[in-house]
């Protein structure tokens, strides 16, 4: 997956799509960081012409205005998907962050407007504070394996509640075990980033080998045989996915 930041030149980005299309057999998915519909609609068509097999829209609006309702912000997501859907027939995925009051409804609305995939979740640059120098700094740019939790919950829930949309699980996937968990929760695919920065591209092979060894041990021949086996509606007590307060845990452990 190639990625476009606004500062890059458009031509350069289109070349990034064209050249792997000539040399590799796997699908090439373009990814753009979106702010407003207007600036990206024409570009989406160019991306399709450059040969991209699909397009991921990484949408995030930093909501700073106190007069702005969440409904209005969500509409910006929907408008973007609808407008880009009108100009290109290639499959669209939307990469979102975790902060929605009703994520299930938002994902459903994205599906209704033509998104065929959703990436759960993007991970953003987060600030930290240096209390010695009294200045703002950056917190850890890379995820850690424990960051898989939020995504795991929502992959498990959304894969059942909005069953027609494909889910790419993202954030905190650092090894084969995490891939297995996300597929069991209902993910169609899994994305990795931090682990590649930290340990290099060789991790793809390591992760695939771990997945394959586990499947062999369990007598599984394809991902389909276990995809979604532990999603929201496939477990005896779905409330495990819903549970968010620790109260019950502590009361039973005292």
Ligand X SMILES: Cc1cc2nc3c(=O)[nH]c(=O)nc-3n(C[C@H](O)[C@H](O)[C@H](O)COP(=O)(O)O)c2cc1C
Interface residues with ligand X (CB under 6 A) are: 3, 5, 31, 33, 58, 95, 122-123, 141-143, 147, 170-173, 192-194, 197
Nearer to ligand X, 159 or 191 (CB): 191
The least CB distance from residue 123 to ligand X, in Å, is 4
The least CB distance from residue 199 to ligand X, in Å, is 11
Spacing of C-alpha 44 from chain mean position: 19
Nearer to ligand X, 95 or 181 (CB): 95
On the 0-12 / 13-18 / 19+ scale of CB atoms within 10 A, 148 is buried
Cβ contact 37:70 at 8 Å = no
Name the packing angle between helices 148-161 and 176-185 (round to 10°): 30
In 91-246, where does DSSP find H-type helix? Answer: 103-112, 148-161, 176-185, 194-199, 203-218, 239-242
Nearer to ligand X, 173 or 180 (CB): 173
Compute the half-sphere exposure of residue 207: CA atoms within 13 Å on the CB side of its CA: 21
Nearer to ligand X, 27 or 218 (CB): 27
The least CB distance from residue 5 to ligand X, in Å, is 5
The least CB distance from residue 179 to ligand X, in Å, is 11
């Amino acid at each position: 997956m190639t990625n476009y930041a606004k500062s890059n030149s458009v031509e350069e980005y289109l070349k990034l799509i064209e050249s792997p299309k000539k040399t590799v057999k796997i699908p090439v998915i373009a990814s753009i960081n979106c702010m407003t519909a207007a600036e990206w609609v024409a570009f989406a068509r160019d991306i399709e012409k450059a040969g991209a097999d699909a397009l991921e829209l990484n949408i995030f609006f930093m909501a700073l205005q106190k007069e702005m309702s969440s409904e209005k912000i969500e509409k910006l997501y929907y408008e973007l998907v609808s407008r880009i859907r009108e100009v290109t027939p290639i499959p669209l995925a939307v990469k979102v962050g975790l902060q929605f009051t009703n994520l299930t409804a938002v994902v459903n609305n994205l599906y209704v407007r033509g998104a065929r995939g959703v990436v759960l979740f993007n991970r953003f640059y987060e600030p930290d504070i240096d209390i010695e120098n009294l200045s703002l700094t950056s917190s850890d740019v890379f995820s850690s394996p424990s960051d898989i939790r939020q995504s795991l919950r929502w992959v498990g829930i959304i894969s059942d509640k909005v069953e027609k949309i494909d889910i790419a699980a993202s954030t905190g996937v650092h090894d084969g075990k995490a891939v297995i968990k996300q597929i069991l929760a209902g993910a169609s695919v899994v994305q990795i980033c931090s682990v590649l920065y930290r340990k290099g591209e060789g991790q793809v092979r390591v992760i695939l080998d771990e997945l394959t060894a586990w499947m062999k041990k369990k007598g599984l021949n394809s991902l389909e045989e276990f995809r979604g086996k532990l999603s929201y509606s496939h477990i005896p007590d779905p409330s495990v996915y819903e549970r968010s307060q620790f109260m019950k845990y502590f009361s039973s452990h005292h």
